[in-house]
Structures are given as C-alpha cells and as structure tokens.
Amino acid sequence: MDHRAFAQSWADGWNTHDLDAIMSHYRDDIVFHSLKAKSLTGAGELHGKEALRAYWSAALARQPELEFSVQDVFEGHNMMIISYLNHRGVLASEVLYFDAAGKVHRAAACHRATQAPQAPL
C-alpha cells in the first residue's frame, strides 16, 4: 500500500466535500470512534457505513469551509495514522486499520485539546 497516496486521496475527498469519495475507503461494517461524533450524534462509536455517512454528511453541512492539510503519515502493519491540520488550525489525527483488500474496517479520529500543552507530557 502507498500510504502517502492513500492520505492524499483521503484529504482530496474531504477538501472537495465529495462524500462518495470519502466513503469509498471504508467497509460496510466500519467501526468509527470520535468525540466529535458523540457531540453531533450522541454516540462516540459509530457502527456501519450508513451511520458514518449520516454523521459526516451532517458535519460537512455544518462546516462548508472544512479543509484538511496533511502534516504527516505514519505507517504500521495493516494500519496508518494521518496527521493533519483542519481549517481552524486544529491538529488532528485519523487512525485507520485496513483489511486484506485495503478497505478501512476500524478508524478513530483524535483532535488536539483546545489548549495545547505548554511542556512535554
């Protein structure tokens, strides 16, 4: 797998607000974790592509200026992390776990806390 090419394709989908392109990376039985999902849907863990599509559709509608700038890509065994800045300058990471066919079956989004730490943790 070309992790950098995947990250660019992932970001391109988000930056063009092309929900079909975004969703093309995920399996039907995706499990997705996000605090932001919890605030919008009431659940921090979403199950299935339709639940994820509904969440992201609502999120895109609320943020027409949404854009991601990939900062770094971390490669792992059947997984990767995409580190990016969003349109508000918030640093975030997406953790993606892949099946043998290269589709994401588990994912999590993490965002830097409102106040960045002043010293190393």
pLDDT at 118: 56
**How far, CA to CA in Å, does 92 sit from each of 8, 54, 69, 71, 100?**
15, 21, 10, 9, 26
- Using 70 as the pLDDT threshold, list the residues of the chain that sit under it: 114-121
Model confidence over 49-74: pLDDT tens digits? Answer: 999 999 999 999 999 999 999 999 99
pLDDT at 36: 86
pLDDT at 116: 58
All domains in the chain, ordered by first residue: 3-111 (3.10.450.50)
pLDDT at 99: 98
Q: Which long-range contacts (CB under 8 A, 24 or more apart) does 75-84 make?
A: 75/3, 80/3, 80/6, 80/7, 82/7, 82/10, 82/11, 84/11
pLDDT at 96: 98
Pick the closest to residue 74 from 1, 4, 26 (CA basis). Answer: 4
Give a three-class secondary structure readout of 78-109: CEEEEEEECCCCCEEEEEEEECCCCCEEEEEE
